[in-house]
């Protein structure tokens, strides 16, 4: 999910409002190269919890989407649950994509791990190389998971793409990887990708 702090159209507050309405128990804002949307959302949630301690609001994990290079292919690495103030991750949270050696998947994965987070290869069936090839290479870089549930054809409302999901689930099982779901929402509704 993306906010106005990268290439999304929702404010963090609007995003949370929709997440609550949809009944989400937990989620992550994965703005590109930034945790500013997460920070604003977390402050909003903290204020709401302070005002109404019995209010059942969803859990918000730290998240980020980092443009990276995997065997010469541009891919996106999702980081979840990391400490955003950790020195290893700070260079990747400056609002711009990393360059050169710092853009290599192994470096990005290592920085997120050092900051205590989990790493996920985003939408692995959307790149210029087969998901099977990229997932195998990401495993050598110590990736923790893959985004198995994703809407590749942008259906409205959002629903996972069956064929790609089955392939990525199978590969995740072969490599003992976590599977995640990403709406990759950039527009005004969490029910749509764009």
Q: What pLDDT, on the 0 to 100 scale, is given for residue 169?
A: 98
Instruction: Inform me whether the pLDDT recorded for 54 exceeds 80.
Output: no
Q: What pLDDT, on the 0 to 100 scale, is given for residue 52?
A: 85
- Helices and strands in the chain, H and E counts: 5, 7
Find where tokens 């087969």 sit.
Answer: 130
**Mean pLDDT for the chain overall:** 96
Say what the alpha-carbon torsion angle 101, 136, 66, 189 is, to the nearest 10 degrees. 160
User: Mean of the pLDDT values across residues 163-191?
Assistant: 96
Grade residue 37 by pLDDT with cuts at 50, 70 and 90: very high
Cα distances from 26 to residues 74, 79, 100, in angstroms, run: 29, 15, 34
Q: What pLDDT, on the 0 to 100 scale, is given for residue 55?
A: 78
Q: How far apart are CA 157 and CA 115, in angstroms?
A: 35
Grade residue 126 by pLDDT with cuts at 50, 70 and 90: very high
First to last CA, the chain: 11
Q: What pLDDT, on the 0 to 100 scale, is given for residue 42?
A: 96
Q: What pLDDT, on the 0 to 100 scale, is given for residue 21?
A: 92
Grade residue 56 by pLDDT with cuts at 50, 70 and 90: confident
Beta bridge partners of 125: none
Q: Which two tokens stand for residue 82?
A: 């990391």
DSSP label at residue 57: P
User: Mean of the pLDDT values across residues 6-14?
Assistant: 96
Q: What pLDDT, on the 0 to 100 scale, is given for residue 10?
A: 97
Q: How far apart are CA 105 and CA 77, in angstroms?
A: 8
List, for residues 68-115, the tens digit of each pLDDT value.
999 999 999 999 999 999 999 999 999 999 999 999 999 999 999 999
Q: Which two tokens stand for residue 179?
A: 């599977």
Cα distances from 186 to residues 45, 117, 124, 152, in angstroms, run: 21, 23, 18, 14
Residue of higher predicted confidence among 191 and 37: 37
Q: CB count, 10 Å around CB of 103? A: 18
157: preceding bond cis by omega (within 30 degrees): yes
């Amino acid at each position: 999910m993306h906010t106005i702090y990268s290439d999304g159209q929702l404010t963090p507050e609007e995003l949370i409002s929709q997440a609550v309405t949809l009944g989400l128990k937990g989620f992550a804002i994965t703005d590109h190269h930034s945790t500013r949307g997460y920070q604003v959302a977390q402050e909003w949630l903290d204020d709401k919890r302070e005002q109404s301690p019995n209010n059942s609001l969803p859990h918000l994990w730290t998240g980020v989407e980092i443009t990276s290079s995997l065997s010469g292919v541009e891919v996106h690495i999702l980081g979840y649950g990391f400490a955003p103030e950790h020195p290893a991750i700070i260079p990747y949270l400056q609002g711009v994509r990393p360059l050169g050696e710092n853009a290599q998947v192994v470096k990005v994965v290592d920085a997120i791990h050092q900051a205590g987070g989990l790493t996920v290869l985003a939408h692995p069936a959307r790149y210029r190389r087969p998901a099977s090839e990229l997932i195998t290479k990401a495993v050598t870089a110590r990736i923790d998971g893959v985004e198995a549930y994703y809407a590749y054809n942008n259906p409205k409302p959002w629903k996972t793409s069956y064929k790609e999901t089955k392939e990525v689930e199978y590969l995740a099982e072969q490599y003992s990887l976590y599977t995640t779901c990403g709406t990759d929402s950039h527009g005004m509704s969490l029910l749509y990708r764009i």
